Structure 1
């Protein structure tokens, strides 16, 4: 008999494990598949997850049975919500909140309170529900889910102001709503009253804040000091989030959700590129968690509980959608400059999402454990609001936006890839003169910070990222200008964005002398239209602008003083922006077009040469003595130049890499931290000197170039200019025969190409 009972017990245990395994595997697999399918069909993922959960759950085919997980379901739900909120903390943007209009801040205060207590009053009045349970029910529909509102906004494309309000409301209200719901639940159902309830509130708040801040700071320090290898940064962040959640839960139950949200926010403030990688990884994990979690929770639902909700339930949901939300918008917008049609649209659109559903199920599971009367009411109410707002508002939002005239016009803004000084100058012109929205995109944090200091919109991102177009800053972009030194990258950016913006709205620079090796037909319009083909690399122009060796000037084509000394880059016309405008067009009419000109001091060599730096050497000298003499001439002009160190660096470079160009020309060169300007000493050597030139000819013209330590662009450009000019045989001979320093300088000026 004992053996039989043991066999039965083992079989039951095996069946339970098998059921649990099937439930977990089914929820993960089906959740992921339905999320992929929702992206394919362009419908809210929560709709498919809800239908899939009910269909696979006990009310359907019974593949997913949440009850088989027992108490483990509560653990899974809590941990999943914690990781979702950690990802939400990573995406919180303090700068975005600070720059947010007053409407958003009111929605997070007045709007939250209005939605909470008005909904509670409606539920209490219609269902004659106990006040504590009504208050908890009201707290659970505060949040408008960002996982639902983001795809909706992407599809209907409303005006930037409405987009900003709805986007930031969804992003910022999520963690706030969760915290309020948890505190409300603790206050109402813990059994504590008066001082004890306040003490529990303070402990949970203090534990969540302190552990979250501490965990976020520790994670940030470890990453900043590069104590975490790059290849393990994602798993480190995941483990850190779980550890913070666990410690907070050990200190105080339900404090973990607040702590992971705070930890994610603190961690995101480091602004590290590694944090960006973590954010991308966590977004993928969050999608998987949302799919699994919502499928498990939806599988708990049954059609019976919605039937029991009845007409009174329909009335409650209708009042929440048609009464509570409009009242909240009216109170929040009072005294602000929102138009009536904008208020009407905001009053209608407020879809709830996964966080509201998760918290409702979490509360229901806890109430069931406490044997509370009608514990499923809260879950039924919240899911009814979620289904109604997603389905009804999701289907009607676009027609309503068109009817109200709040859909965004065709975007005319610009994305400039390259936040260097040249890119910033173009952005300033387009923003101030053309009055067009511009966003600069760069992976260089320093360049982005400089853009922000200049009052420009800029983001740290890789412009090749497919989800970049979903960012709020890029909503008004209708044109792309790829302004990097990498021609291959410029082509690829144009190819990528031509699918989004259209092939006639993507432009790229093709730096002079940097022909691309990208395969394909050069006439392929998806590769972008080439602008300013005669200009050098954008970074070179940026360096010139930084050193004030070039200037960006705003004028019209009628300004003859500007047109004589500068080249036109952009003209603003009623039809839009024109690159490489024709300023010599045949017309009797004046040309009032505002234009951006580039004035460059391209004569690097002439700027580095002075009459006192030109020397003629008749006697024969060995290499060291020759270089010492030339350095002495440079020191006479710039006394701070260290003589011995400079001579030593020149000789060392000659020993390793001889600088003879051939044709009787050599260019010994070096950097010096003592310099703040370039110096070029020109030596005429009629007798010639052996520099081990590849053509075997003795050097008769020598250009010794010394540049500041931090000026590689100007240094290389000057070397290139010397090499380019010395290719002209006649010019070389005339310089060699020049009888004075001024004649040498004049010949170099005349030889400019």
Structure 2
């Protein structure tokens, strides 16, 4: 069964997704888990070798997957996102890349002992970072907006640029050694320009077809996917590796056309990209030979990798970002984070084969050197990015933030109660006046429509992993919840109970999980606030359980959320079905009469001393 190609293909996909789940469950870098799993099933246990099993299909599968990943990444490159730091991204992608190319080539020659010709090519290849490794790290680290955006743009833009630089370097080396003519070198530049035009033209044409209704909804995502693959294959047929440039240009053009169906396309491509990244990393690492792994342990390679980590990358960032307005902390973080990924691994195989055919003796070492840098950067940056961001004050938050949509008296005191446990809280509403009480209580507020593009690009939503829709419009709440399901997950999205109509009118797949009891909709809760209801915190003990709390004059107390001993929030969508350990605090909305009764009860139990 292990020899079956069908079984191996399914096993690879399954192992990739399981690796992603393990990384999510234990808060570990996903790239690290996928790489280790691939090494275990491949060169360590020899369960299967995808490169041998798939034969001639192996490289095309990898190439097509990389094309989809790059296109999906470039779809997120909206120019509006970088309004305040375009200079930083431009300088890092140009001047920084040039410095990395030169210093990386020198390090490969003098430290790894590779010939100057081959080092010149390797230096160009190692410019790339890439979305396959950057995007998972950014999701893990929760960086502040500016460093996160700069790293994302650099990774996606430089990926095809680095491959082209390495391709140019190889053509230049072959020309200098009189293995090709000057005409071939000119053809390289012509092919690069032509494929970029193909990508731009295809992206614009496809965007217009989508926007004007020439493609039905059910065919939009499939046609976009097929178009990406077609553009990649045609461009790569003109000149190897230029297909990456074409699909990146195609994605950037479509991202900046502001298509009405853009979000649906983006969600589809994100799902495909996760599947591709998971599978490709397993395939690449499982196909490695023991000899290649042994080559990595060469001391000269290790010195080269250390130089790339601690000298080449920081130097390129610090020099290229002089005078662009970045803080020392931001330059330090960006100067450390530069993990290499799938593109570097796949492209290195092409260059190794081409240079070996041309007679360069040390071409075989390119794959091992690339693998060493990929593993080292993935491990070093994967385990350090969150720690370093926290130390430099560039992490948006360590705590789970809560975003409440809908300003009201109840939302204000609800947010204040959450914030009292050091949780980031944001209230968004379309009305400035609706947020007045929240502002008075020191709650962070934003005026705007959560569903508008303006809010998306001007409000940093990174710290907020939980969303509560609490406007007075039931249908609007449901729409908000449905919009954020792909980003936050259904388990992190709540809405106040339906106020008008029958709750069964709303499908379980529409809207978020209902907070509180059905009778306590936002209108009722706001009325309670007007009547003087207030926040009460009750700690559970072994003697006083949740059941006791719920039975204790429940008609005057509304449980809102719980906070366990580790300061984790648990929203009470159905309090009666939950069990909490002693030490958990229940935060509730309590009537003023109940508060007074508790105070009188407490006072009656106090012995008042009398005078003799």
- Give the structure-1-normalised TM-score: 0.56
- Match of residue 200 from structure 2: 213
C-alpha distance 79-163 of structure 1, shift in aligned 2 (>3 A): closer
C-alpha distance 523-399 of structure 1, shift in aligned 2 (>3 A): same
1:137-536 aligned at under 5 Å gives the runs 137-189=122-174, 195-309=182-296, 310-367=298-355, 372-408=360-396, 416=405, 423=430, 425=432, 436=444, 438=446, 440=448, 442-443=450-451, 448=453, 452=454, 457-458=455-456, 473-477=460-464, 482=469, 486-487=473-474, 490=477, 522-523=516-517
Q: Supply the distance in 1 between the matched residues of 2:355 and 2:447 (Cα, whole angstroms).
A: 50
Shift of 1:523: 4.6
Residues 262-320 of structure 1 show CA distances to partners (whole Å, capped at 9, x for unaligned) of 22222333322433222222222222222332222223323433433411111111111
Shift of 1:525: 12
Q: Supply the distance in 2 between the matched residues of 1:130 and 1:525 (Cα, whole angstroms).
A: 76
Q: Secondary structure at the match of 2:456?
A: strand
C-alpha distance 193-477 of structure 1, shift in aligned 2 (>3 A): same
**Residue of 83, 105, 120 corresponding to 1:135:** 120
C-alpha distance 271-483 of structure 1, shift in aligned 2 (>3 A): farther
- Match of residue 601 from structure 2: none
- Match of residue 34 from structure 2: 49
Contact 1:211/1:259 (8 A) holds in 2: yes
- Match of residue 71 from structure 1: 56
- Match of residue 582 from structure 2: none
Residues 637-682 of structure 1 show CA distances to partners (whole Å, capped at 9, x for unaligned) of xxxxxxxxxxxxxxxxxxxxxxxxxxxxxxxxxxxxxxxxxxxxxx
Residues 494-547 of structure 1 show CA distances to partners (whole Å, capped at 9, x for unaligned) of 8999x989x9x9897998x7796789675589987977669xxxxxxxxxxxxx
Q: Supply the distance in 2 between the matched residues of 1:431 and 1:184 (Cα, whole angstroms).
A: 59
C-alpha distance 250-487 of structure 1, shift in aligned 2 (>3 A): same
- Match of residue 105 from structure 1: 90
- Match of residue 570 from structure 2: none
Q: Secondary structure at the match of 1:143?
A: coil
RMSD across aligned positions (CA): 4.4
Q: Secondary structure at the match of 1:438?
A: strand
Contact 1:213/1:259 (8 A) holds in 2: yes
- Give the structure-2-normalised TM-score: 0.68
Q: Supply the distance in 1 between the matched residues of 2:403 and 2:25 (Cα, whole angstroms).
A: 29
Q: Supply the distance in 2 between the matched residues of 1:411 and 1:525 (Cα, whole angstroms).
A: 28
Q: Supply the distance in 1 between the matched residues of 2:44 and 2:35 (Cα, whole angstroms).
A: 12
Q: Supply the distance in 1 between the matched residues of 2:394 and 2:211 (Cα, whole angstroms).
A: 44
Q: Secondary structure at the match of 1:408?
A: coil
C-alpha distance 214-138 of structure 1, shift in aligned 2 (>3 A): same
Shift of 1:260: 1.8
User: Is the counterpart of residue 85 in structure 1 residue 70 in structure 2?
Assistant: yes
Shift of 1:63: 1.4
The range that moved more, 167-176 or 321-330, is: 167-176
Contact 2:429/2:435 (8 A) holds in 1: no
Query: Paired residues, what number?
Result: 493
Q: Supply the distance in 1 between the matched residues of 2:135 and 2:17 (Cα, whole angstroms).
A: 19
Shift of 1:340: 3.2
C-alpha distance 429-379 of structure 1, shift in aligned 2 (>3 A): farther
Contact 2:406/2:472 (8 A) holds in 1: no
Q: Supply the distance in 1 between the matched residues of 2:132 and 2:36 (Cα, whole angstroms).
A: 17
Shift of 1:243: 1.6
C-alpha distance 286-133 of structure 1, shift in aligned 2 (>3 A): same
Structure 1 residue runs of 5 or longer lacking an equivalent are: 1-14, 460-470, 535-753
Structure 2 residue runs of 5 or longer lacking an equivalent are: 408-427, 507-512, 529-612
The range that moved more, 99-108 or 406-415, is: 406-415
Contact 1:203/1:252 (8 A) holds in 2: no
Q: Supply the distance in 2 between the matched residues of 1:132 and 1:478 (Cα, whole angstroms).
A: 49
C-alpha distance 438-124 of structure 1, shift in aligned 2 (>3 A): farther
1:510-589 aligned at under 5 Å gives the runs 522-523=516-517
Q: Secondary structure at the match of 1:57?
A: helix
C-alpha distance 403-304 of structure 1, shift in aligned 2 (>3 A): same
Contact 2:72/2:273 (8 A) holds in 1: yes
